[in-house]
Amino acid sequence: MSDNLVAAAGAGPLAGVRVAELGGIGPVPFCGMLLGDLGAEVVRIDRPAAAGRPSPFPVLHRNRRSLAVDLKQPQGVDTVLRLIEGCDAVLEGFRPGTVERLGLGPDACLARNPRLVYGRMTGWGQTGPLARQPGHDINYIAQAGALHTFGPADGDPVPPLNLVGDFGGGGMLLALGVLGGVLSARTTGRGQVVDAAMTDGTALQLAMVYGFLAQGRWEDRRGANLLDGGAPYYGVYRCADGGHVAVGAIEGPFYAALLRVLGLTDDPDFTRQQDRAAWPVMRRRLEQVFAGRPRDAWARAFEGQGACVTAVLSLAEAPDDPHNTARGTYRTGPGGVPEPAPAPRFSATPAPEPAAAVPVGADTDRVLAGLGLPAEEIAALREKGIVG
């Protein structure tokens, strides 16, 4: 694959890493975004039928080129295999067996490129009784035990968006696995398959909780523990204007600061911080106190006090928060719409400025030309509907 095949970032810790992304939604595009944000050269394989349309996921699809190829036609599959010959990694997120039927499974790709890292993203994994069953984030985190932990003690489990399975236990896990594989391949010369399952990734995120459970420091029920809203000094409280504040005053000095600002230092109900029998009374009292002032008034009162109390910001408010603004946590994307900035930060190889998502198939000719296809062959592929 030639050096001008994909948008050369020229910066970022992953500059020079080349990745092919086989379509998909959710965690696989998120993985591709993470790698592209850090300077990897990512080409996304899209369907010709959608060629020319705007990207359906304008943030997740940033930092890519889009190659529209019909993978149901042998020439289309061969075109992608030619691309893969020059890649460090492939990302795919279809049900087990799907890419094998297309002729783009691990065996076919590794035969063309023995150093390739083949990253596979599924909910249930490539093996196991549920491997071929459908599912979504909510199903995977339920099966892994995480969903059981979210929600009030007297209520039902509450889905934490699709952050725990799709993105934390999915896309980020796949990115870690792929990078581990690339490092190994550069040392050994051998590629491999990375089987990233959202159930596995969700379970990994429960490592500390299972450690607490083994020590007898965690009850296997909602709203009864230190970090699940059970502790009154670690939770969310409604304010007078309907806004909320988040309280995380776990350690002694933070707890003392919380009581000081709230005027509760001498209240006998708050002298037994770790006494679970006292928690219900403490929570009811904190609810009453926080309900007496608006959210922003409380935020000002706690500013600089070291009590670990912050306002709960909305999606619209977070990008304009002074701290987030100072760090550049959010950036202004196309059309003036805020979007998360690349992270983490690197001192010697900072991530490049993200490139906006392109229309589906926008880079088809350029990518194919980078593979060495002459203009007349590209035109023939387009006339046959193999590329878009």
Catalytic center residues: 136, 166
* Closest of 169, 91, 163, 157 to residue 123, by C-alpha: 169
Strand 117-122 and strand 192-197: the pairing is parallel
Q: How far apart are CA 325 and CA 315, in angstroms?
A: 14
* Bridge partners, residue 310, by sequence: 246
Tokens of 97: 């067996």
* Closest of 45, 17, 18, 21 to residue 31, by C-alpha: 21
* Bridge partners, residue 8, by sequence: none
Q: What is the dihedral of CA 313, 207, 234, 160, to 10 degrees?
A: 40
Residues 222 and 154 sit within 8 Å (Cβ to Cβ): no
Q: How far apart are CA 109 and CA 118, in angstroms?
A: 8
Q: How far apart are CA 34 and CA 21, in angstroms?
A: 12
Alpha carbon distances (Å) from 357 to 10, 18, 66, 97, 273 = 18, 18, 9, 29, 50
* Closest of 31, 14, 11 to residue 23, by C-alpha: 31
Q: What is the dihedral of CA 362, 365, 367, 368, to 10 degrees?
A: 150
Residues 38 and 351 sit within 8 Å (Cβ to Cβ): yes
DSSP 318-371: GGG-HHHHHHT-EEE-GGG-EEEPP-S--SSSPPPPPPPPPPTTTTHHHHHHHT
Largest CA distance in the chain: 84
DSSP 242-307: S-EEEEE--SHHHHHHHHHHHT-TT-GGGS-TT-GGGHHHHHHHHHHHHTTS-HHHHHHHHTTS-S
